[in-house]
């Protein structure tokens, strides 16, 4: 599986790289970033996937989350995928929450999105095969996290593939998209009117149905300007009803920004590293 190197920079003794490849899943060029800690010079290292939110590319978390310092300390690699296909000929919408930059980590079945918007398959199948074939990463030690739309993706993917991901966490996830305007709009566009097709992509519904066999960590800012769209209380109730192991932490005064993500990034990387060791 071929890819091109866009850039590689030294960072906290490791290497932050950005790469581009032709994706069969999306039919477009896709860009992704990989941070390798110093420990990767000596053998395979655990992997933490970070899925970004609406409007983001691979670059947002790579430059704003402050994750590399902690990944270097705990000897864990980071993978930052893009959030959607992009480019000429790829369907788009004038709204920021649909189309390019807003793939919602689903495989679209509806026109005009279906030809390229295959982000579920890209994140769960194609990109893993590429990175595990080309970087010193331990396939048996994978965790996944994300912010907002990416938190939604991390939770739904982990609960769908619990045998693959040994750990999962989220920052301010879109927790109940089938009951939110951040979800109903996109699911209708990408997946059609049948709500049965939406259910596998709703963390609250998946928590009620199956949960996750290990602990979950979720941080949510109490001053998040999007609380009514994120619906954290729905997921918190589902976790309590199921007696799901883990922590759901409401962080006083924090909003939805990357200042919030930066503040708790060390906690999350440490938490994943302990479970992937």
pLDDT tens digits along 207-262: 999 999 999 999 999 999 999 999 999 999 999 999 999 999 999 999 999 999 99
Considering 148, 167, 180, 234, which one is annotated as catalytic?
A: 148
Whether pTM exceeds 0.85? yes
We report the CATH number of the domain holding residue 217 as: 3.40.50.1820
pLDDT computed for residue 1 by the predictor: 78
Domain membership of residue 108 as a residue range: 3-275
Domain count, the chain: 1
Which residue is catalytic, options 58, 169, 224, 268? Answer: 224
Within 8 A by CB and 6+ apart from 171, the residues are 145, 146, 147, 148, 151, 218, 219, 220, 260, 261, 264, 268
Beta strands at 77-81 and 14-22: parallel, antiparallel or unpaired: unpaired
Among this protein's residues, is 224 annotated catalytic? Answer: yes
Which neighbouring-strand residues pair with 102?
99
Q: Angle 8-12-14 (CA atoms, 0-180°, nearest 5)?
A: 45
Residue 141: the pLDDT is 98
pLDDT under 50: residue ranges of the chain: none
- Here the tokens at position 255 are 């909003």
Distances in Å between the Cα of 78 and the Cα atoms of 2, 11, 14, 17, 46 are 20, 12, 11, 10, 9
- Active-site residue, 58 included: no
Which residue in the list 116, 152, 256, 268 is annotated as catalytic? 256
Q: What confidence tens digit (pLDDT) does each residue in 10-25 have?
A: 999 999 999 999 999 9
Phi-psi bin for 139: left (phi > 0), alpha (psi -120 to 50), beta? alpha
Whether 256 sits among the annotated catalytic residues: the reply is yes
């Amino acid at each position: 599986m071929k890819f091109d190197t866009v850039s590689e920079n030294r960072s906290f003794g490791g290497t932050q790289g950005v790469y581009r490849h032709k994706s069969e899943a999306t039919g477009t060029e896709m860009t992704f970033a990989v941070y390798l800690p110093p420990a990767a010079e000596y053998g395979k290292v655990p992997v933490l996937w970070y899925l970004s939110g609406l409007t983001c590319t691979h670059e947002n978390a790579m430059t704003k989350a402050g994750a590399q310092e902690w990944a270097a300390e705990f000897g864990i690699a980071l993978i930052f995928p893009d959030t959607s296909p992009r480019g000429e000929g790829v369907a788009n919408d004038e709204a920021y929450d649909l189309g390019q930059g807003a793939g919602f980590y689903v495989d679209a079945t509806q026109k005009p999105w279906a030809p390229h918007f295959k982000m579920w398959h890209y994140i769960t199948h194609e990109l893993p095969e590429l990175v595990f074939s080309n970087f010193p990463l331990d396939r048996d030690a994978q965790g996944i996290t994300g912010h907002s739309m990416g938190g939604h993706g991390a939770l739904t993917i982990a609960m769908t593939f619990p045998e693959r991901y040994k750990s999962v966490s989220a920052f301010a996830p879109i927790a109940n998209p089938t009951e939110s305007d951040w979800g109903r709009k996109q699911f209708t566009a990408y997946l059609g009117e049948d709500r049965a097709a939406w259910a596998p992509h709703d963390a609250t519904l998946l928590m009620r149905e199956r949960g996750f066999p290990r602990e979950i960590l979720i941080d949510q800012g109490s001053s998040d300007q999007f609380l009514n769209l994120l619906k954290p209380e729905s997921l918190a109730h589902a976790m309590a009803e199921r007696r799901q192991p883990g922590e759901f932490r409401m962080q006083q005064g924090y909003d939805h920004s990357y200042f919030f993500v930066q503040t708790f990034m060390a906690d999350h990387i440490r938490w994943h590293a302990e479970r992937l060791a």
